[in-house]
């Protein structure tokens, strides 16, 4: 059933892994991009795998089999764009996989973290991207990624930076 285009499936909140396993068990090609984060509780820190894009997974399925996914608990609907099912190019999925396989966390090379300073991300999801420091304070930094037209907030401990 791994033919056709990649499509985006919306899941119930925190059901991404269960839905991905259920669809995979049906023989559907599934991709649920995961990241490892360090979560801190009052008494411990733990590495936790969580979805990069909460409540969304990618599947490759032939149009004739599109309704099979609704047999899996946790599936809500397909994502639509301009009245048609949203399609994701294979190249974009490969790029996403390559970014995530590189490293668990992004690394930022820098001399200081003052607003306006330009950086280059040397690893992880945003590897090779130019970034501009928007805000820096405490243990967080906010970076503008002009090539991706987005702004990301990062904890310094998650990107290998300590103050």
Question: What is the rounded distance in angstroms from the CA atom of residue 112 to the CA atom of residue 59?
Answer: 42
Looking at the structure, give the CATH architecture of the domain made up of residues 107-159. Roll (2.30)
Question: What is the rounded distance in angstroms from the CA atom of residue 56 to the CA atom of residue 10?
Answer: 5
H helix runs in the chain, sequence order: 16-25, 90-102
Which strand ranges, in their side-by-side order, compose the sheet holding 130-137?
Answer: 107-109, 118-123, 130-137, 140-145, 150-155
Same fold, 6-101 and 107-159: no
According to the model, what pLDDT value does residue 38 have? 82
pLDDT 10s digits, 71-116: 999 999 999 999 999 999 888 888 788 777 764 344 444 446 788 8
Element (H, E) at 120: strand 118-123
Question: What residue segments make up the domains of the chain, in order of their start?
Answer: 6-101, 107-159
Residue 158 pLDDT greater than 50, yes or no: no
CATH topology classification for 6-101:
Alpha-Beta Plaits (3.30.70)
pLDDT band at 119; cut points 50, 70, 90: confident
The residue length of the chain stands at 163
According to the model, what pLDDT value does residue 124 have? 58
pLDDT 10s digits, 124-154: 567 777 888 888 876 677 888 888 778 887 7
Q: Which residues pair with 6 in a beta bridge?
A: 60, 88
Return left, alpha or beta for 114; rule: phi > 0 is left, psi -120 to 50 is alpha, else beta: beta
Query: What pTM did the predictor assign?
Result: 0.64
């Amino acid at each position: 059933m791994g033919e056709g285009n990649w499509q985006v499936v919306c899941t119930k909140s925190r059901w991404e892994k269960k839905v991905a396993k259920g669809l995979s068990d049906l023989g559907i090609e599934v991709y649920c991009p995961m990241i490892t984060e360090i979560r801190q509780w009052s008494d411990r820190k733990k590495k936790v795998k969580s979805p990069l894009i909460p409540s969304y997974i990618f599947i490759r399925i032939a149009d004739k089999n599109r309704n099979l996914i609704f047999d899996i608990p946790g599936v809500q609907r397909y994502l639509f764009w301009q009245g048609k099912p949203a399609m994701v190019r294979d190249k974009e999925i490969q790029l996403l996989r390559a970014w995530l396989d590189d490293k668990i966390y992004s690394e930022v090379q820098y001399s200081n973290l003052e607003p306006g300073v330009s950086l280059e991300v040397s690893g992880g999801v945003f590897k090779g991207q130019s970034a501009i420091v928007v805000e820096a304070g405490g243990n967080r930094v906010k970076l503008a990624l002009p090539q991706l037209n987005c702004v990301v907030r990062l904890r310094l401990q998650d990107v290998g930076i300590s103050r």
